[in-house]
Amino acid sequence: MTDYRRNRVPGGTFFFTVNLYDRRSRLLVEHIDILREVVRNTLRRVPFHVDAWVVLPEHMHCLWTLPEGEVNYSRWQAVKLVFYRNIPRGEHRSSSRAAKRERGIWQRRFWEHAVRDERDYAAHMD
């Protein structure tokens, strides 16, 4: 199994890219109201600051700043889980996903980058 290393920076700002499994899908924009509500509810339960968020048909880019001292950005698990529970079923699932009883909505991993400084922040904000 691949060993993913995550950069844990307490109270850090992170740039994320999160993709749908089917890159031809338009689920994110077709169900944008559900996505917004899921994010609002997640923010109430496990606060963080949304610096920026761009939603495209099949993927998202986000800049988040965690609360001071916080290193856990697994809020993605909550966002992804609640989103797929609230949209209609019907997507294609690979045999691997079907065996694990997973829906075929999200790519299993996401990409994150710990923002290093103001210049890096400006580049990702742009």
Instruction: Kindly report, residue by residue over 44-83, the tens digit of the pLDDT.
Output: 999 999 999 999 999 999 999 999 998 887 788 889 989 9
pLDDT at 6: 67
How many Cα atoms within 13 Å fall on the side-chain side of residue 67?
9
Q: Does the pLDDT of residue 37 top 90, yes or no?
A: yes
pLDDT confidence bin for 96, thresholds 50/70/90: confident
Average the pLDDT over 13-20 and give the result: 95
The CATH number of 13-125 is which of 3.20.20.70, 3.40.50.300, 3.30.70.1290, 2.40.30.10? 3.30.70.1290
Nearest-angstrom CA–CA distance, 105 and 21: 5
**Phi–psi pair at 70, nearest 5 degrees:** -80, 135
Q: Does the pLDDT of residue 2 top 70, yes or no?
A: no
Nearest-angstrom CA–CA distance, 40 and 99: 32
Which structure tokens are listed for 58?
């099949």
Helix (H) or strand (E) holding 13, with range, is strand 13-19
